[in-house]
Amino acid sequence: MPEIKEDILATLAYFDIFDYPLSSVEIYSFLRNGYDQYNFDQTLVMLIVQGAVYQFDQWYSLKNDYSLVPRRQKGNEKAAELIDVGKKVSDFLIQFPYVRGIAISGSLSKNYADEKSDIDLFIITARNRLWIARTLMHIFKKLTFLVNKQDYFCMNYYIDEQQLEILEKTTYTAIEIVTLITLHGAPAFEQFGAANTWTADYLPNKTIDLSQAKAVKNSLLKTLFEKAFNNAAGNAIDNALMKITAGRWRKKTALKKLNAKGSVMGMDANKHYAKPDPKNFQHKLLKQYDHKVADLLQDPKSSLAH
């Protein structure tokens, strides 16, 4: 029983960092180990009686703060609006050459948004053509600034079919993977899930949901473009675009240019992936999470110290 108590509190601790209370179904799905439903239900009730967990309607939190409930509800409503927009955006972006799958990521994939939220997108491309695909999509994105719609096209994370495994294996990356809202390319995301079965070591009760992923139907223009560059020239162009783009981002980081959220701009990239690199964000988040869990273990009312 102590282990299941610790897992429930650890799950709530992670989402409490974001002031995000969870339902019992959500708590169960993000537990670090598998348990039968009866033990889970009984332990959750026990933690509430002990004062270690607070219940507000169907929501649970480590914080005795009811204001988190309307905050979540408002965030869920805003997220539903943006997810609908994201679906329309993905219907357009999937037509770009070499794009094989699109999913919503970030806070929006956890069903939360506020007035400052973007639509963060996770893109899977054909093998060895990530940089051609990314360059074409980001040329288009520059046009969206003219109509102030750039927040709808935050294509932050690219990965290609050659290297689908996420190398950083942490609680953070596991949660980011299993909460992806897949919009296009079920086959690509099936392969992505198969390459990242390690997430079960962190989250045995949750896997990527492919139910919303539409089939990818290539247009004639997309097919012709890919045929034209499925050769040595395409390889050379992709490699050149990688070097040019990575060089430009290194300069932005060196000059400490800030993004719209006030963070120094950075990108971690190689031939098979391109992703934002906010300085030490994941490290700081996991350190904060570890400290919260450690504090819970020392808190007598949690009954975990006994």
Model confidence pLDDT, tens digit, residues 144-197: 988 888 888 999 899 999 999 999 999 999 999 999 999 999 999 999 999 999
Q: pTM, whole model, 2 decimals?
A: 0.91
Residue 173 has what pLDDT?
96
Mean pLDDT per 10-residue run, the chain (306 residues)? 88 97 98 95 96 96 97 97 96 97 96 93 98 96 89 93 95 97 97 98 96 92 97 97 91 76 79 84 91 81 45
Kindly report the three-state secondary structure assignment for every residue of the chain.
CHHHHHHHHHHHHHHHCCCCCECHHHHHHCCCCCCCHHHHHHHHHHHHHCCCCEEECCEEECCCCCCHHHHHHHHHHHHHHHHHHHHHHHHHHCCCCCEEEEEECHHHHHCCCCCCCCCEEEEEECCCCHHHHHHHHHHHHHHHHHHCCHHHCEEEEEEECCCCCCCCCCHHHHHHHHCCEEEECHHHHHHHHHHCHHHHHCCCCCCCECCCCECCCCCHHHHHHHHHHCCHHHHHHHHHHHHHHHHHHHHHHHCCCECCCCCECCEEEECCEEEECCCCHHHHHHHHHHHHHHHHHHCHHHCCCC
